[in-house]
């Protein structure tokens, strides 16, 4: 019987609890697997280990294309801004957590996932609703969907005290991406990790675009990027606990490519970013007796961000604005195991945000946010359930107007799973969750020049799903040596979820007056989303008599998403009322297959996104065509070296994710990695 993660994961961070290792009970010939894992009350998707390493991706956003229910917003090229929309809830409803602590952005509420390289990532986990654990900060309860990015922790072989990995990536569009990782065992219980990389690309690629009677063929301009990332981490291990401290620094300069309209696409817009933070985590547990346990988790973070945007085009509006943003975050979570079947958690967070701009006539807002979450987990034989309630308290202070106090009502969530057959990993599950999104500083203060009085967006999520996993191990009758490598292993997994989401008081922005520079925000929107997510796959490990220590492994995984996301904002507008909202396709899917043997692997990936519209008016003029891509990668590991050749968009398809922003055609890169 699966155990609740709340009782089996004391001493682990929130990201680690999502990847508790599997355990198998073996018979003599045929083996059925049973594992201890997180509760199955909510569907989640994970990429980790060899599967994550095998992807032909450059950033976290590229890897997330392979998750169902996810739509990427990509403005093209290596340096283009990349965000994701999960189940059509909107980018601002996604919480992004880096090593268990959220990446905040009070200015616009979004995180550019193109900034995060895959060079130092160990695992990506996406939850489409409540997470499968209650032992977490209150902030983890405060998003409609959550993405956990877990970076690599130091790992050492027996007798090894240090580890070095040097990587060089080079490819089309002038890509040059060297990286260096150094890990040191200071003591048995204290490890050090240092990681740095440099990323450069011209972003120049050929494109072909047809608009009416105009055919445009050219080279993408102003898509270059130069970026430096550096991280340092210290990891300590205690009896029944652990701690870590991490420092992060990122700095970039990039061009912002222009939409291609009427055969014009040149621009000189530039953006400079600097992001730095220091964060720490301490987790400890105590056993009061054989039944009752207590666990404590403390998180803290300070971040300092800078962004400058330059538009030197004086024919429209000359803009040269800079923004400085600070955040202080403190969290304490306590969990009690009252009975073997009942866990209780109380978490409290405090967040302070400050935003300053170079625009002298605009305000400097500050925000104080308090979050308190109470959650319980129940697990008895075939029933598992989680119940939580989050209270959010916000106070905005502004130096030019009176203080604005915003108090939100509690937002509850409940998730439940039922395992009809205890000997089978077969689950029926569902959840209900309410959530609020506070308006960002841009939406409240940096639109019309004076503070607005927007109400929070209100979301309600309903989900019902089914999940099944089956693993069978068959001993090879021809084997003369008994070992795990002589077992034919077949693992089949499948899950499907149907969901219904509502977004009320949706915040929209409209131009004010005759200029596109000044905008007015308001609460008008109401959206209903109905959808189905399907994930299925099979993994085979085939023993070979000619190579008993190197079995052949084959895997195939597929996803499919159907979404009907309708805009019910204005019943008087027949063009938009009931229309599919912008950039949400009805159908999307992906297939990922790989074959590996003795250090050599071949991977093929197919992505498909159906027809979309660039606005809620579903007219032919707003239609964005469907697109699909084929990617191929060949990789070889030999002793200390890893060599790979990756080719993307094999068919050289000309396509757009965002209207009038063409994506690259045929492209590729070579990766050489040396580890010691």
DSSP conformation class of 574: T
Residue range 274-298: mean pLDDT, rounded: 93
Tell me if 197 sits within 8 A of 168, measured CB to CB: no
| pLDDT averaged over every residue in the chain | 85
pLDDT surpasses 80 at 411: yes
**Which residues are CB-neighbours of 298 under 8 A, at least 6 positions away?**
281, 282, 283, 331, 332, 333
C-alpha count within 13 angstroms, C-beta hemisphere, residue 415: 26
Q: What is each CA distance from 318 to 313, 321, 450, 455, 652, in whole angstroms?
A: 6, 10, 21, 32, 37
DSSP-assigned letters across all residues of 368-422: EEEEEEEEEEEEETTEEEEEEEEEEEEEEEESSS--EEEE---EEEEEEEE-SST
Q: How confident is the model at residue 84 (pLDDT cuts 50, 70, 90)?
A: confident
Show the CA angle centred on residue 295, arms to residues 294 and 298, nearest 5°: 145
Q: What percent of the chain has pLDDT over 70?
A: 87
Tokens found for residue 55: 């992807």
Residues 603, 632: contact at Cβ < 8 Å? yes
Q: Is 325 exposed, middle or buried (0-12, 13-18, 19+ CB in 10 A)?
A: buried
Mean pLDDT for the stretch of residues 351-373: 91
pLDDT digits (tens, 9 = 90+) for 200-217: 999 899 888 877 777 778
Window from 103-107, 238-242, 400-404 with minimum mean pLDDT: 400-404
Closest of 268, 360, 245 to residue 316, by C-alpha: 268
Question: Mind listing the pLDDT tens digit for each residue in 556-610?
Answer: 999 999 999 999 988 899 988 999 998 999 999 999 999 999 989 999 999 999 9
| Residue, of 395 and 236, whose pLDDT is higher | 236
Tokens of 187: 């003591």
- Greater confidence, 516 or 62? 62
Q: Which two tokens mark 310?
A: 């330059």
Region of residue 55 (left: phi > 0; alpha: psi -120 to 50; beta: else): beta
Classify strands 145-151 and 94-98 as parallel, antiparallel or unpaired.
parallel
126 Cβ neighbours under 8 A, 6+ residues apart: 44, 45, 46, 64, 67, 70, 86, 145, 146, 147, 148
Across 39-49, average pLDDT: 81
Q: How far apart (Å, rounded) are the C-alpha atoms in residues 417 and 44? A: 14
CA 369 to CA 102: how far, in whole Å? 14
* Each residue's pLDDT tens digit, 229-269: 999 999 999 999 999 999 999 999 999 888 887 777 778 88
pLDDT band at 17 (very low <50, low <70, confident <90, very high): very low
Is the predicted pLDDT of residue 292 greater than 60, yes or no? yes
What's the half-sphere exposure (Cβ side, CA atoms, 13 Å) at 28? 1
- What is the value of pTM for the model shown? 0.88
The counts of H helices and E strands in the chain are 5, 38
Angle at 96 between CA 92 and CA 101, to 5 degrees: 130
Task: Report the pLDDT averaged over residues 280-303.
Answer: 94
User: Taking a C-beta distance cutoff of 8 angstroms, is the pair 293, 285 a contact?
Assistant: yes
pLDDT tens digits for range 26-37:
333 333 333 333
Q: Can you give the pLDDT at residue 8?
A: 33
Token pair for residue 119? 């060079």
The distance from CA 53 to its chain's CA centroid, rounded to whole angstroms, is 16
Quote the pLDDT of residue 25.
Answer: 35
What the block records as the tokens of 29 is: 């010939």
The reported pLDDT for the residue numbered 113 is 87
């Amino acid at each position: 019987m699966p155990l609740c993660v709340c009782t089996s994961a004391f001493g682990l961070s929130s990201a680690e609890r999502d990847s508790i290792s599997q355990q198998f009970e073996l018979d003599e010939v045929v083996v059925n697997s049973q594992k201890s894992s997180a509760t199955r009350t909510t569907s989640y998707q994970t990429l980790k280990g060899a599967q994550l390493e095998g992807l032909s991706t450059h950033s976290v956003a590229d890897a997330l294309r392979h998750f169902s229910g996810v739509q990427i917003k990509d403005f093209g090229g290596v340096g283009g801004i990349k965000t994701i929309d999960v189940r059509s809830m909107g980018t601002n409803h996604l919480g992004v957590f880096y090593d268990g602590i959220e990446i905040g952005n009070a200015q616009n509420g979004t995180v550019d996932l193109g900034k995060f390289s895959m060079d130092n990532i160990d695992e990506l986990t996406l939850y489409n609703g409540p997470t499968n654990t209650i032992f977490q900060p209150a902030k983890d309860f405060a998003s409609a969907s959550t993405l956990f990015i877990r970076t690599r922790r130091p790992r050492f072989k027996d007798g090894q005290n240090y580890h070095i990995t040097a990587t060089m990536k080079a490819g089309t569009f002038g890509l040059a991406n060297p990286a260096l990782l150094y890990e040191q065992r200071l003591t048995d219980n204290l490890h050090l990790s240092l990681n740095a990389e440099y990323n450069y690309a011209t972003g120049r690629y050929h494109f072909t675009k047809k608009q009416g009677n105009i055919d445009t063929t050219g080279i993408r301009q102003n898509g270059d990027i130069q970026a430096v990332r550096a991280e340092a981490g210290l990891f300590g291990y205690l009896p029944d606990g652990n701690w870590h401290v991490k420092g992060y620094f990122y700095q970039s300069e990039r061009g912002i490519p222009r939409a291609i309209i009427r055969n014009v696409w040149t621009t000189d817009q530039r953006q400079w970013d600097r992001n730095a933070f220091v964060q720490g985590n301490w987790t400890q547990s105590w056993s009061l007796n054989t039944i009752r346990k207590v666990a404590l988790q403390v998180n803290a973070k300070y971040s300092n961000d800078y962004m400058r945007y330059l538009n030197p085009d004086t024919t429209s509006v000359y803009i040269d604005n800079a923004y400085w943003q600070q955040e202080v975050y403190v969290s304490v979570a306590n969990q009690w195991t009252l009975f073997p079947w009942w866990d209780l958690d109380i978490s409290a967070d405090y967040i302070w945000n400050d935003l300053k701009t170079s625009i002298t006539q605009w305000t400097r807002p500050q925000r104080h946010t308090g979050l308190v979450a109470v959650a319980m987990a129940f697990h008895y034989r075939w029933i598992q359930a989680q119940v939580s309630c989050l209270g959010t308290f916000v106070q905005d202070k502004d130096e030019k107007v009176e203080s604005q106090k915003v108090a939100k009502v509690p937002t509850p969530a409940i998730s439940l799973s039922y395992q009809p057959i205890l000997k089978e990993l077969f689950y029926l599950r569902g959840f209900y969750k309410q959530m609020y999104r506070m308006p960002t500083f841009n939406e409240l203060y940096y639109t019309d020049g004076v503070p607005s009085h927007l109400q929070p967006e209100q979301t309600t999520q309903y989900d019902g799903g089914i999940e099944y996993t089956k693993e069978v191990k068959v001993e090879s009758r021809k084997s003369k040596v008994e070992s795990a490598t002589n077992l034919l292993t077949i693992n089949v997994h499948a899950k499907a979820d149907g969901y219904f989401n509502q977004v009320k008081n949706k915040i929209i922005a409209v131009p004010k007056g005759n200029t596109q520079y000044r905008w007015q925000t308001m609460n008008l929107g109401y959206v209903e989303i109905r959808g189905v997510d399907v994930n299925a796959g099979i993994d085979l490990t085939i023993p070979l008599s000619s190579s008993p220590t190197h079995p052949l492994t084959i895997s195939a995984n597929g996803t499919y998403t159907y979404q009907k996301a309708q805009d019910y904002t204005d019943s008087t507008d027949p063009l938009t009322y009931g229309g599919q909202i912008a950039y949400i396709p009805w159908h999307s899917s992906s297939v990922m297959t790989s074959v590996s043997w003795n250090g050599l692997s071949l991977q093929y990936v197919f992505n498909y996104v159906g027809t979309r519209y660039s606005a809620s008016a579903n007219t032919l003029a707003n239609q964005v065509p469907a697109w699909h891509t084929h990617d191929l990668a060949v990789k070889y590991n030999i002793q200390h070296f890893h060599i790979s050749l990756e080719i993307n968009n094999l068919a050289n398809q000309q396509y757009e994710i965002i209207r009038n922003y063409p994506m690259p055609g045929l492209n590729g890169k070579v990766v050489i990695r040396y580890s010691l």
